[in-house]
Amino acid sequence: MTTHYFSETPTGPEHRKQVEVEVWGRPFTLTTANGVFAGDGLDRGTEVLLRESAPPTGNPTVLDLGCGYGPVALGIALACPDARVDAVDVNERALALCRDNAVALGVRKRVRALRPEQVEPGRTYDEIWSNPPIRIGKEALHALLLTWLPRLAPGGTARLVVSKNLGADTLQRWLVEQGYGCTRAASSKGFRVLVVTPRVAA
């Protein structure tokens, strides 16, 4: 059976390695492994998301949804010293890597690597960042977004990067139909960066 990066427990022995990344002008080393998304280094979508977005400022509470081994969560923690980041994933191997990377980079106290059910029910976020797992299918993706986007605090924003070929424009229309504000902030290398704002009360 093929193991997907969105599997909870990847099969087979873990083989770790180091990759060099650069986020907002800051180079650092991350430990990755087989069985996690983009284990060979930053994928193109995440590169576009980070390049086309400014890092958070102030002391925000941030969610990295589908964190993998942590490049977005850890990049935010390093760029914004007062940010507190929840790095959420279903892949246990990815979460272990994210925790180890947070320790190695000295941000362990500000980055929590969690399974979805470990997040407090009432917790809200000033910012949500995500390269969402489009390949889980439309129904599952919609359920995922309808679970987490309501956690945006008033005035908060979510930044999603989605491949144009995998339905970015359709997703944007669907989000608007659900009552969310959704604008295209950037388009690069076949990817769209969508900025989502909370539902407006009727």
CB of 167 within 8 A of CB of 122? no
Question: Is residue 3 scored above 50 in pLDDT?
Answer: no
Q: 69 by DSSP, 3-state: which? A: coil
Question: Is residue 42 scored above 90 in pLDDT?
Answer: yes
Question: What mean pLDDT, rounded, does the chain reach?
Answer: 93
pLDDT band at 200 (very low <50, low <70, confident <90, very high): confident
Instruction: Identify which has the larger pLDDT, 46 or 12.
Output: 46
Instruction: Identify which has the larger pLDDT, 202 or 116.
Output: 116
Q: Give helix 44-51 / helix 71-79 axis angle, nearest 10°.
A: 20
Give residue 11's pLDDT: 66
CB of 55 within 8 A of CB of 159? no
- The full DSSP string for 108-122 is TTTEEEE-GGGS-TT
Give residue 4's pLDDT: 39
Question: Is residue 46 scored above 90 in pLDDT?
Answer: yes
Tell me the mean pLDDT in the region 176-193: 96
Question: Is residue 202 scored above 70 in pLDDT?
Answer: no
**Longest alpha-carbon distance in the chain:** 52
Question: Is residue 160 scored above 60 in pLDDT?
Answer: yes
8-state DSSP, 137: -
CA separation for the pair 61, 126 (Å, rounded): 5
197's CB contacts (< 8 A; 6+ apart) are 152, 156, 157, 158, 180, 181, 182
Cα 69 to chain centroid distance, Å, stands at 10
Give residue 201's pLDDT: 65
The CATH number of domain 16-199, selected from 2.40.50.140, 3.30.2130.30, 3.20.20.220, 3.40.50.150: 3.40.50.150
Give residue 126's pLDDT: 98
8-state DSSP, 165: G
Tell me the mean pLDDT in the region 86-109: 97
